[in-house]
């Protein structure tokens, strides 16, 4: 077995571009997912009538179908259904945001519900209003508890972005596939791709650790 380093060297610029695309999609995906998930998680935790059922349906649909199917649906089926055509990049980011959003909904809901009811009682007994109790007590405590599971979800989302190669988005995995076809050197290309993913997930994990350490989980 010979490992030709020059193949990796030549492929490097394209792989860096792919990694950049992966990072962009991931950032948009987890950013959007955080917004969706926080909102939906609070709706579920506080059982806002009617819309909590819509949220339940959304979470069930996302959790109950493979993310590949979701990507295919958004990219290929949606244009037929409602006449909107998305670029591959937009479809991928939207898909990842919707997907992460459903899981983050559960993370947020779980964190809010895990906060001892006695603390809410103590706040109300002081004479705080319910929104004040959420803002000063339940919110800050629940927020801390979301951080470890969020870190996990961010890494899953980053890796999930690889399957957007099925809709032809030029992210890292898709570049890997193309480069393999061009060079015929699967060993070098996929090793390099794996290393790129490792570097990105490891960095993300370290960032989350840092935040975790800064804020004691109570």
> Measured from the CB atom, is 51 or 122 closer to other proteins?
122
> Measured from the CB atom, is 124 or 205 closer to other proteins?
124
State in angstroms the smallest separation of the CB of 196 from other proteins. Answer: 38
Q: Are 161 and 197 in contact (CB under 8 A)?
A: no
State in angstroms the smallest separation of the CB of 218 from other proteins. Answer: 4
Cα angle 160-164-169, degrees, rounded to a multiple of 5: 140
User: What phi-psi label fits residue 124: left (phi over 0), alpha (psi between -120 and 50 degrees) or beta?
Assistant: alpha
Residue 132 within binding range of other proteins, rule CB under 8 A: yes
> Measured from the CB atom, is 57 or 126 closer to other proteins?
126
DSSP letter (8 states) at residue 89: H
Residue 127 within binding range of other proteins, rule CB under 8 A: yes
**Pick from 122, 186, 195, 206: which binds other proteins (CB under 8 A)?**
122
In this structure, the dihedral spanned by the alpha carbons of residues 70, 72, 77 and 83, taken in order and rounded to 10 degrees, is 90
Residue span binding other proteins (CB under 8 A) among the ranges 48-56, 137-145, 153-161, 205-213: 137-145
Residue list 91-120, contact with other proteins (CB under 8 A): 116, 118-119
Residue 90 within binding range of other proteins, rule CB under 8 A: no
Burial of 111 (0-12, 13-18, 19+ CB in 10 A): buried
* Alpha carbon 52 to its chain's center: 22
Residue span binding other proteins (CB under 8 A) among the ranges 92-100, 105-113, 127-135, 182-190: 127-135
Residue 9 within binding range of other proteins, rule CB under 8 A: no
Task: Tell me how far apart the alpha carbons of residues 218 and 144 are, in angstroms, rounded to a whole number.
Answer: 7
State in angstroms the smallest separation of the CB of 146 from other proteins. Answer: 14
CB atoms within 10 A of CB 79: 13
Task: Tell me how far apart the alpha carbons of residues 216 and 218 are, in angstroms, rounded to a whole number.
Answer: 6
Residue ranges that bind other proteins, judged by CB under 8 A: 116, 118-119, 121-129, 132, 136-137, 140-141, 144, 218
């Amino acid at each position: 077995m010979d490992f030709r380093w020059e193949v990796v060297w030549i492929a490097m610029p394209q792989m860096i571009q792919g990694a950049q695309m992966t990072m962009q999609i991931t950032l948009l995906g987890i950013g959007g997912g955080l917004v969706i998930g926080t909102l939906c998680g609070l709706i579920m935790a506080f059982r806002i009538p009617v819309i909590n059922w819509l949220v339940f349906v959304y979470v069930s649909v996302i959790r109950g179908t493979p993310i590949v199917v979701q990507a295919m649906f958004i990219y290929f089926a949606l244009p037929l259904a409602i006449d909107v055509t998305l670029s591959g990049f937009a479809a991928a980011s939207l898909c990842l945001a919707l997907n992460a959003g459903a899981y983050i909904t559960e993370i947020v809901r779980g964190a809010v519900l895990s906060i001892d009811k006695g603390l809410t009682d103590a706040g109300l007994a002081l004479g705080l209003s319910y929104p004040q109790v959420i803002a000063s007590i339940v919110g800050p405590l629940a927020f801390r508890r979301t951080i470890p599971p969020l870190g996990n979800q961010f890494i899953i989302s980053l890796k999930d972005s690889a399957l957007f190669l099925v809709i032809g988005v030029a992210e890292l995995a898709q570049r890997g596939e193309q480069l393999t076809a061009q060079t015929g050197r699967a060993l070098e290309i996929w090793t390099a791709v794996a290393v790129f993913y490792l570097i990105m997930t490891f960095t993300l994990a370290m960032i989350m650790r840092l935040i975790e350490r800064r804020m004691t989980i109570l």
